[in-house]
Amino acid sequence: RKEVEQDPGPFNVPEGATVAFNCTYSNSASQSFFWYRQDCRKEPKLLMSVYSSGNEDGRFTAQLNRASQYISLLIRDSKLSDSATYLCVVNIGTGRRALTFGSGTRLQVQP
């Protein structure tokens, strides 16, 4: 089983749509959670951290369910510029401070 699993998509949605991605992680001791965005042939860029209480940043809302070990990202009012691959990222702790990446979910927002 992969440490971090995501639906690869692609998710094809029209502009203005609301889209949600889920991610599951296998290590219950995981400590930190993030969503990164990666554009084609570019490095990942931090979109937002994910907190237990849930957090929102503009059109983006992230939630964490520790009991079920899943993380979600909701994007409202999708823009063309939101087209990218969204990476679910987990710090699995155990003394390691590197990040474990999911394989990403591709989003294509269409006009």
**Does the protein bind other proteins through residue 80 (CB under 8 A)?**
no
Within 8 A by CB and 6+ apart from 65, the residues are: 71, 72
The two tokens of residue 37 are: 């965005």
How many Å apart are CA 83 and CA 50, to the nearest integer?
Answer: 21
- Provide the terminal-to-terminal Cα distance of the chain, rounded to the nearest Å: 37
**Does the protein bind other proteins through residue 24 (CB under 8 A)?**
no
**Does the protein bind other proteins through residue 66 (CB under 8 A)?**
no
CB 69, min distance to other proteins, A? 18
- Segment contacting other proteins by CB under 8 A, of 12-20, 40-48, 60-68, 70-78: 40-48
Considering the complex, state which of residue 50 and residue 75 has its C-beta at the smaller distance from other proteins: 50
Count of C-beta atoms within a 10 Å radius of residue 56? 12
**Chain length of the chain:** 111
Considering the complex, state which of residue 19 and residue 33 has its C-beta at the smaller distance from other proteins: 33
Binding site for other proteins (CB under 8 A): 4, 32, 41-46, 49, 87, 96-104
